[in-house]
């Protein structure tokens, strides 16, 4: 194979002038709507009910006429045949070769069907991510993931292989064995949730292994939680591992649609060659095209055929960046990753609260441990918000000053006062995949 020093997985698409990118997106959007209309009973019903024919989409502005799909619709359609996916499928059931499901964080899981072509496409979209983050065929990539029904790092595994990396599956190994295997094999990269990246580092220290000194990890790709774009969490991870940490955003129903590149410009590139990402006002649904204004993400996977994902209302909240990345990619960026979810930005004591703001405050204080937990309850008509934290060993004597700084930061970042309780390190729950640190018990 010819030696290639390009920083792009595919320079044809990643540096395409923006007006041509838009033309490509429109062409592909029309194609996937046409495909879904003719092959998926669910989409045909949806579009006919809206009085929409595929031929009605002529311009970029026409895309807004296409009905959005919500997660509740994905759950509901699963009651139909063919089992267990329902008639959103756009291929015969026999063409489905991979089952995955969502984690069920927001309700009943959604079952995801993929053809082999879709699975190649998953790996392809992850190749864009890994290549942009500096992964090359000289890397030995460790996957400390429980290879199961969740898509999580399956796609990273296949992409790393496709890219030519030597890929080490850390499947059923426990955390200690994973750390020792990474050390033994001198692995250079791995992927995990931010929670587990910090958990691995904490555990390594208990094994008298300093990840930054004793392991050879150069880059880490995180997914599944917002922490990769929360500056204080990212700093903790990079310091613990002596490695660069890169964020990525994706979802089981959508695909791997966004990634940070090695420039780390404070935002993530949207892979606009494979996805159409729209940002809409949460209240009015009006499109937001200007930078700096928060809205919810509506996303289309432009090439996914088994169970098409067209104008999926992700409920994730983000904002466009007006920055131009030094990497030269023409893909537009979103600023600071996912900054919240339209359905978990909640009112506490009358104040709008995004849980990521608490994470930023807690992780910004180095004397605090990595774990924390927030519990919101109601006493009579009053909301109560409790925050459980851990103080690092050796710092207990500074508790009063640390708590004062924490309260200040919480006030600045969330406008709320908290009942704070201090727990010994290790007392709060540890997670391997997605953490559940925010518990709103008012809804129960």
Partner 1 sequence: MDKTAVKEMGRMIKKMRKLADGLREKAAGIQAVERNLDRISANITMLEINVSDVRDLL
- Consecutive H or E run containing 350: none
- Please tell me whether residue 383 adopts helix, strand or coil conformation: strand
Rounded to 10 deg, the angle between the 231-241 and 355-363 helix axes is 40
Among the residue ranges 35-43, 119-127, 279-287, 328-336, the one whose residues contact partner 1 (CB under 8 A): 119-127
Q: Residue 411: which residues within 8 A CB-CB, separation 6 or more?
A: 417
The answer to the question of residue 10 lying near partner 1 (CB under 8 A) is yes
In the complex, the smallest distance separating the C-beta of residue 125 from partner 1, rounded to whole angstroms, is 10
- For partner 1, the binding residue among 29, 47, 111, 119 (CB under 8 A) is 119
Q: Is position 1 an interface residue for partner 1 (rule: CB under 8 A)?
A: no
Do 126 and 158 form a contact (C-beta atoms < 8 A)?
A: yes
Among 43, 124, 298, 321, binds partner 1 (CB under 8 A): 124
Q: Is residue 256 part of the contact set for partner 1 (CB under 8 A)?
A: no
280 binds partner 1 (CB under 8 A): no
Q: Is 328 in the site for partner 1 (CB under 8 A)?
A: no
Exposure on the CB side of residue 434, measured as CA atoms within 13 A: 16
Cis peptide before 332 (omega within 30 of 0): no
Tell me whether residue 127 or residue 200 sits nearer to partner 1 (CB atom).
127
Which residues are within 8 A (CB) of 412 and not within 5 positions of it... i.e. 6 or more apart?
361
Q: Can residue 272 be called a binding residue for partner 1 (CB under 8 A)?
A: no
> How far is 442 from 444, CA to CA, in rounded Å?
6
Q: Select from 15-23, 196-204, 227-235, 387-395 the region that touches partner 1 (CB under 8 A).
A: 15-23
Contact region for partner 1 (CB under 8 A) — 19-27, 133-141, 201-209, 364-372? 19-27
Q: Burial, 342: exposed, middle or buried (Cβ in 10 Å; 0-12, 13-18, 19+)? A: middle
Q: Decide: is 60 part of the binding site for partner 1 (CB under 8 A).
A: no
DSSP calls for 238-249: HHHHTSEEEEEE
Please identify which residue in 225, 247, 260, 303 interacts with partner 1, judged by CB under 8 A: 303
With binding defined as CB under 8 A, does residue 12 bind partner 1?
A: yes
**Intra-chain end-to-end CA distance of the chain, in Å:** 59
Tokens of 76: 């509901």
> Across the strands, what pairs with 364?
none
Which of 20, 45, 205, 442 contacts partner 1 by CB under 8 A?
20
Rule CB under 8 A: is residue 205 a binding residue for partner 1?
no
Cβ pair 252, 232 in contact under 8 A: no
Structure tokens at 353: 């609260």
Number of residues that bind partner 1 (CB under 8 A): 20
Which of 19, 379 has the CB closer to partner 1? Answer: 19
Of the candidates 11, 104, 326, 424, which one interacts with partner 1 according to CB under 8 A? Answer: 11
Is residue 92 involved in binding partner 1 (CB under 8 A)?
A: no
From 118-126, 149-157, 164-172, 261-269, span contacting partner 1 (CB under 8 A): 118-126
Give bridge partners of residue 375 from the DSSP assignment: 386, 439
Among 23, 207, 324, 352, which residue interacts with partner 1 (rule: CB under 8 A)?
Answer: 23
Instruction: Provide the binding-site residues for partner 1, judged by CB under 8 A.
Output: 10-13, 16, 20, 23-24, 27-28, 115-117, 119-121, 124, 273-274, 303
């Amino acid at each position: 194979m010819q030696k290639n020093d390009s920083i792009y997985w595919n320079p044809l698409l990643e540096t395409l002038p923006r007006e041509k990118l838009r033309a490509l997106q429109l062409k592909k959007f029309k194609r996937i709507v046409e495909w879904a209309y003719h092959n998926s009973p669910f989409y045909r019903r949806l579009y006919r009910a809206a009085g929409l024919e595929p031929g009605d989409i002529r311009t970029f502005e026409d895309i807004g006429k296409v009905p959005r799909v919500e997660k509740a619709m994905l759950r509901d359609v699963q009651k139909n045949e063919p089992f267990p996916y329902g008639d959103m499928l756009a291929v015969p059931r026999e063409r489905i070769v991979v089952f995955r499901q969502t984690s069920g964080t927001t309700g009943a899981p959604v079952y995801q069907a993929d053809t082999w072509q879709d699975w190649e496409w998953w790996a392809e979209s992850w190749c864009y991510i890994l290549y942009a983050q500096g992964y090359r065929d000289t890397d030995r990539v460790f996957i400390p993931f429980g290879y199961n029904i969740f898509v999580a790092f399956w796609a990273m595994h296949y992409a790393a292989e496709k890219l030519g990396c030597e890929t080490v599956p850390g499947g059923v190994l426990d955390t200690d064995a994973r750390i020792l295997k990474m050390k033994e094999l001198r692995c250079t990269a791995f992927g995990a949730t931010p929670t587990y990246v910090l958990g691995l580092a904490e555990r390594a220290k208990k094994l008298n292994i300093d990840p930054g000194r004793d392991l050879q990890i150069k880059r880490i790709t995180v997914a599944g939680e917002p922490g990769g774009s929360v500056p204080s969490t990212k700093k903790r991870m990079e310091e613990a591992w002596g490695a660069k940490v890169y964020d990525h955003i994706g979802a089981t129903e959508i695909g791997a649609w966004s990634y940070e590149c090695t420039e780390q410009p404070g935002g993530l590139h949207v892979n606009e060659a494979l996805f159409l990402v729209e940002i809409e006002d949460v209240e009015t649904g009006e499109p937001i095209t200007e930078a700096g204004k928060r809205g919810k993400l509506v996303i289309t996977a432009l090439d996914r055929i088994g169970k098409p994902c067209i104008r999926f209302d992700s409920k994730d909240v983000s904002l466009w960046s007006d920055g131009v990345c030094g990497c030269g990619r023409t893909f537009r960026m979103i600023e600071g990753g996912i900054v919240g979810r339209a359905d978990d930005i909640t009112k506490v004591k009358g104040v709008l609260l995004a849980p990521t703001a608490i994470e930023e405050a807690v992780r910004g204080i180095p004397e605090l441990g990595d774990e924390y937990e927030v519990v919101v309850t109601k006493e009579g008509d009053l909301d109560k918000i409790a925050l459980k934290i851990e103080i690092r060993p050796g710092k207990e004597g500074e508790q009063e000053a640390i708590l004062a700084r924490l309260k200040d930061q919480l006030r600045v970042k969330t406008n709320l006062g908290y009942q704070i309780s201090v727990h010994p390190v290790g007392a709060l729950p540890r997670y391997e995949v997605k953490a559940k640190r925010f518990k709103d018990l008012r809804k129960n």
